[in-house]
Structure 1
């Protein structure tokens, strides 16, 4: 059995609860009352639940859930205090009492255990009513505590009420305290593997805090308090007036013997007390030494028999308890397994339901996809049938149109018809030595027909849309006549041969890039060529009854005769545009664009909307090439940037050394306006472009005339030209050319 604290030792009790005021009381106690490493007792009074009564007799039947709940509550309550005490090196004891009257439980515990100091926390300085959820608990304890006990009430870390001890404990209290059985300690409790945990068992080996010296149990403390309370306060226990001190001590001794059946963790061990000592004591008290020896032997034998039966009964009881504990553990394990299996079954069921739902969704998606594929297949079949019918119909229409054209060609008298024999003889059977060019339409040969030099263009068998271009060019050139349009002399419709007048200087592209080491074109001739190209293009745009759009205007399609007179050729891609939309921004729409890259109108290329201003863009690029003799790729951008930087002279054709800078800059700016990306920003051909080009051509003619005359007459002509000029700007340009 463990020893209790000495009656003379100073003991301090701190009443705690689940609030911050208790922590303040604990801190104040350790800072001001703790001396000589005394152990501090932390006391918590717990109100019993209204629907249950935890007693010693009911400890075995307490449910595991209630026990775990109680242990969790106590752990949360004492855990901060343990850590604080461990940091400050303070030994502590934890006592949990269960009583309805909290103040009475504290006073009784103080009285029984001879406590010298009691510390309580208060929620306010004046109204101490919230502590322990009972009104005036600190004030009641201060009034009811014995005189030998000092009471401290702490608020916000400071004592607000102190009742000092008024004397030592009375002698009868000390004798009664010594006569009581000592409290159970962990060192004296028996250890047993067959333990049944009570709902009030507490292990103190948590959070790194060592176990207290005495781990008191609730029912032991309550029984001791009740016993001493009844002895010291007989008026409070009128129903137990007949009990004397001896009977109370016996009751406490019986409780103490029962308390030995609990292990350190609060587990009850079914270890029977040694009843042989009780029987021997009773035998010694009841046996008379003067009785006969035989009677003593009979009594002794009877006692031995009773002891044997009692031992057998106790063994049977212990065995039954062990079996009950084992069965309870097995039942708990089976219950846990059952719960786990049920959880797994529920999870499997949920997983199965989810999988089935996903399967249904996938089935629906698959069905919808199959239906959509079938519908798409039906639509594709219908489209294929429609396309096949359309192709057959288009083929039939093309054949009918071809037959009609052939019939018309046979009876057409607008141009002379040549047979293939004449063409072969004239070209020496298409000799390579007479070949003077090659285009997308086919090769071009130089020949002589009717004692006239001609150029014969032959349709290649693999030329794309060659037959259609042939018919278009025949239709256009046979209906129009203009000095700046190439002259169609005849044709051989059966073999796709076109007979043109022969142009001695070839194409403008060959002359600009000086192919064949030909001489450079003077700037005055270049201005004349530009004005002639614009004149021929305006003739196409003003054609009756419908305007014609060339669609492929470029230097390769501009031919030059021996006098450098320019003529537009290759009108096979030209299209008729309705007069109502000829000059509109939104023009005649075509399903496919045609022309040469870098010369095609960007707006026409993107939208397919064709108009007369589509040729203006090509004209702008062509004009820039006339003065720079450079490829068309990005040419407008380079010229514009050079003009802005003042380096335009570096871009001009270096083979011409006498460029009139003012005139050529005006020429380049006009070309840049023509090559604007938007049609509405391009100038009009008849009212803006052609008049400006004719003015520049006139300046070129004047310059050529002044070069051929003498210096004096040249000066007079300059003055007369300046005085007769209609524009001051023309005079400045001409003076610049003269200089």
Structure 2
């Protein structure tokens, strides 16, 4: 317990608490600090019409504070109009000799304050009975003390027999009687306030109920009006409905007779429709059969047309082929395909490759005719050149390509050095160019049908050429489906490279070559076998580990280019044709710029060509323009399939010619296509010639 200051009050002290709880607390704290343990604090509460509820809480708070300090205290409530008048009256009737009250609100406290400043405090100080000691407190400090005048007190006693609280001779009954009266008045006032509050609440509740009833009455009235309106409307509608009913009954009667007549007509019409459907189905079948027969006859005509053989450069006899191959000596056998053997030969002063088809094979004659038809109609720097044929032996004579197939080079057959990544990118670009040329061929697109590294041959300069057109097809637009496609019941090809949809449906489209091209790209990237290759590359890309599956024998692949090629390969080899990209629109625009980032290395043939011991070799004929016989700078493929210098071919056309400078046949159009692959080879050739001159002068 805190030690109290010097006790001023040892008996009973009256405390008039301020209205503000904070001010009341500070005044009460001062009184408690100056009160002895035996003293009692009488807390006076003057009730006015406006402050009753707030002061009740204030009084309870003060009593709690006294209880915590273990000081005896009680509260007394009085009803007066004004607080100052009430205090003055209480001092008078109770003979209060010790009173503590606030000098002013705490917020008005000033250090130099020496006297009360509030109206109530000043009024009490001036008008209270002189026998009362009054302490004026502000912010827990005594501001002023009005000392009692006991001389006046004596006179007052003789004039009025009312005794002060501190007078031991006071009549107890004269003190308690007014106090009991005040308590009775206080209780009456509290009851009156409570009753008035309850009455006001009840009146407010009744008022709300009345308003609610008014609203409900209004809603019910509106609903009643609406129902009355609806009843009138329904009555009118019912009357109209009855009229309509009679009218409809009359119409139904008439309709029944009409329906009976129409029923008989309908049955006759159904019979006619059924007969027409049967007739239509019969005509449709006849038309489809005629269309199919016309297609078959057209294809057969194209395959067996004499012009197919006449457009070849040469037709050889069996004797010439036997002389060229030493009667097909096994020492000159350089390979065997699915339909026959390939021999190296020397025919009419030219080294050639001769494919002898197996006459016992059911598909040999079909393959022979197919390759003659295709290769006699299309020419491209990256397609193998058909020199001639021998119908007598079902043999085909091609240009000889000394570096064998791409499959052999990927497997390093005969210890050949691995292909560098630059050469592989160039091969991808060249094969893509050849496929675009075939698929855009006019008047009919060409589908290879069996594209794979084994059917891609390499010349002395590692220039790639697509070969083996045995199962290729000229696509004739279907009058039924309106699309370029070939249907077969026996799909042929190499399983790992075959389009899954072609295998399942027998429908051969340009997208079938796109699938095979995608697998070929992945093979050139990784050097792995084709089985499950798509899954391996896809997993490596997903794991960001493409470097682990690349063929490092090709050198250090640029990862950016390798990733681009891997994604193109996977897109091309999608299972669904609809998801595969267009070679010209989507693939070529990615592959074509790669040639700038993959400069062709010095090929082995060029290195041997310019060795110190070698002599000068004549310029390859394919580098010379057929018109000017000069090395081409801007080679362009014309409609006849031959490549010309752009300016020379333009001058040829401008001079009034509309025929091929080589075959003298009429050109189908005057358009040309840049031969990028040949141009790259010529540029390499010219660079190496320059190196040769430097070596010679060094």
Same fold (TM over 0.5): no
TM normalised by structure 2 equals 0.42
Larger radius of gyration: 1
TM normalised by structure 1 equals 0.40
